[in-house]
Structure 1
């Protein structure tokens, strides 16, 4: 029995990392990779010691995208079953209450770009190559990208990128907001881990509430007023605010993991 196609480790305190491990296929995502993520994520997301996630690939490559060979020969039932599986994974990532960081090392195409866009922070290098090959294959974009990509870069950039099929470099991705952090190619993974470690220090409940409202915008300003009142009513009476206020009052850095000031009157 060979190595698992998804490697899980803890590269920093409170950070779990999941890496695609199919170097012979440039880490292309097939059923086994998706299933590996699906099996690993629930336990990680239920573990209170895990406060941030990192997605990446082995050997300096994020992923060549969906394994095209596995798409051939499907009937309609098979195609729908494929997307039930894909969407199960997408919902786990999009629904994660904790920060999700993606290390876009080297080559990143199709499905894995969609995976990254479901998270919170993307790290790229100048040599990163990002591809959206859907139309060239006679397919429409999937993994939620017709929603998530325009949200990140705007409709005009999204339409241009998806229609042209041109390769997007890391510097251009950073310029238009597809990538959040641009570093030297050799530093992409380490930077993704350090960003995740920093995010892990944030107040977990406050972050989760902010993330949910950003991902699911209110239909009106009045509805947003109601949501913020609901959230702040919980947070203002909770341990994270007590810790934050105690840190502010005593001119120290807040510790939202140990919450030393949460029990003070």
Structure 2
């Protein structure tokens, strides 16, 4: 059985579902490696412009597979974290938008995985939990960076040490989640991914990198602005955006620019 189920629920959208229902989609080595392989494959797919992460049978994931963590020596513990970080880098560094569909239960490592994406959808039945303290561990998967960036340090500290389940309403109120999927979280996540798939790809990726790695000074920021715009103003997406502006229509960044419109002129 494949640990990651991949399909195309909407044009230009690839959905990666953790497929380990007997363990509530808990994440072990095989799940991680299967997701690494799947993400590398979709990264090479020119038709893929957005990704949805989720789990089968209405459960995102119970988090890290706890029994697989026991009995490790230091080398094994470090190897485990290095493998996790391979996956983290692929998600956080994705050139296309990543939407996390937090259906049902989402705990520990799974929350960290969801936070590495660009948009989190919750809804009725979403239950988010940080169990690290009960295990004598600190949060991993980048959570000690991604969570405070979303909710602030004080709130992050509170929810990571309280051991309490966070429901959809609280997740939305504190900024842990971005949108309410209501009764059908997955459908909402796919719709969000389809919308984000229409964004200009290179501009989105540069925006994402700038937000993830803030400039240390205004001088550095202005230099980065210059570098980005000097590239983007010469690109096909700006030509399409400019043509759409002149034509008084919505731009379509999902299709190659026709040769007759390469100069930015109208139809």
TM-score (norm. length: structure 1): 0.97
1:236 aligns with 2:233: yes
| CA drift at 1:42 | 1.0
Deviation string, structure 1 residues 35-60 (Cα, Å, up to 9, x no partner): 10011111211211100000000010
- Please list the CA deviations of residues 181-209 of structure 1 after superposition, one character each: whole Å capped at 9, or x if unmatched: 1121x310011011101100110011011
SS of the aligned residue for 2:121 comes to strand
**Separation in 2 of the partners of 1:262 and 1:32?**
48
Output the TM-score relative to the length of structure 2. 0.96
**Counterpart in 2 of 1:173?**
171
Following the alignment from structure 1 to structure 2, what is the Cα–Cα distance between the partners of residues 27 and 135? 21
Rounded to whole Å, the distance in 2 between the matches of 1:218 and 1:10 is 36
Q: Answer yes or no: is 1:255 the counterpart of 2:240.
A: no
Matches within 5 A, 1:133-172: 133-172=131-170
Check conservation: 1:240, 1:262, Cα contact below 8 A: no
Residue 102 of structure 2 contacts residue 185 of structure 2 at CA under 8 Å; is this kept in 1? yes
Secondary structure at 1:213's aligned position in 2? Answer: helix
1:189 paired residue number? 186
Is the aligned partner of 1:201 residue 2:190? no
Shift of 1:262: 5.0
The number of aligned residues is: 262
State how 1:49-198 maps to structure 2 within 5 Å. 49-184=47-182, 186-198=183-195
What residue number does 2:40 align with?
A: 42
**In the aligned structure 1, how far is the partner of 2:119 from the partner of 2:113?**
11
Alignment-derived partner of residue 19 in structure 1: 17
- For structure 2, the 5+ residue unaligned runs are none
> Which of structure 1's runs of 4+ aligned residues deviate more than 2 A?
259-262
User: Which residue does the alignment assign to 1:32?
Assistant: 30
Report if the CA contact (8 A) 2:181-2:189 is conserved: no
Determine the structure 2 residue equivalent to 1:245. 242
- Any unmatched runs of 5+ in structure 1? none
CA RMSD of aligned residues (A): 1.1
CA contact (8 A) 2:4 2:17 kept: yes
Aligned pair partner of 1:222 in 216, 219, 223 = 219
